[in-house]
């Protein structure tokens, strides 16, 4: 995976933005979109619409886990766009810790 990477998230759908990682950050590149995030153990199924999720702040998120995960983002466009971009960095400092 390119590090950092700019990833296009499809509006109104879960998009896998990182796979098999233990430390990852994601930053929205557009302030007119709203993002939510969730994760799955690497290799587990894609989240469904009723998955547990948390909102991504305008400053982004950074998470770290003990075991490898896949990070998913859900983008809600507020201006009619069909995709929304995020910057994804792998292996950076921790600001949100997930017990795992």
Provide block-wise average pLDDT over 10 residues at a time, the chain (100 residues).
Answer: 83 91 90 88 83 85 92 88 89 48
pLDDT at 22: 92
Provide the number of structural domains found in the chain. Answer: 1
DSSP label at 4?
A: S
**pTM for the whole structure:** 0.83
If you ran DSSP here, which 8-state letter would residue 11 be given?
B
pLDDT of residue 39: 92
**List of E strands, 11-93:** 14-28, 33-41, 54-55, 61-77, 83-90
Q: What is the pLDDT of residue 79?
A: 82
The pair of structure tokens assigned to 94 is 């921790």
* pLDDT at position 51: 66
What per-residue confidence (pLDDT) applies to 97?
Answer: 41
**For residue 67, what is the domain's CATH number?**
2.60.120
Range of the domain at 49: 5-97
């Amino acid at each position: 995976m390119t590090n950092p990477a700019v990833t296009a998230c499809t509006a109104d759908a879960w998009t896998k933005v990182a796979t098999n990682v233990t430390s990852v950050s994601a930053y929205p590149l557009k302030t007119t979109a709203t993002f939510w995030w969730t994760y799955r153990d690497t290799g587990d199924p894609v989240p469904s619409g009723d998955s547990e999720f948390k909102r991504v702040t305008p400053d982004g998120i950074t998470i770290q886990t003990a075991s490898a995960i896949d990070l998913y983002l859900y983008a809600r466009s507020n201006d009619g766009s069909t995709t929304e971009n995020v910057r994804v960095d792998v292996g950076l400092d921790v600001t949100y810790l997930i017990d795992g």
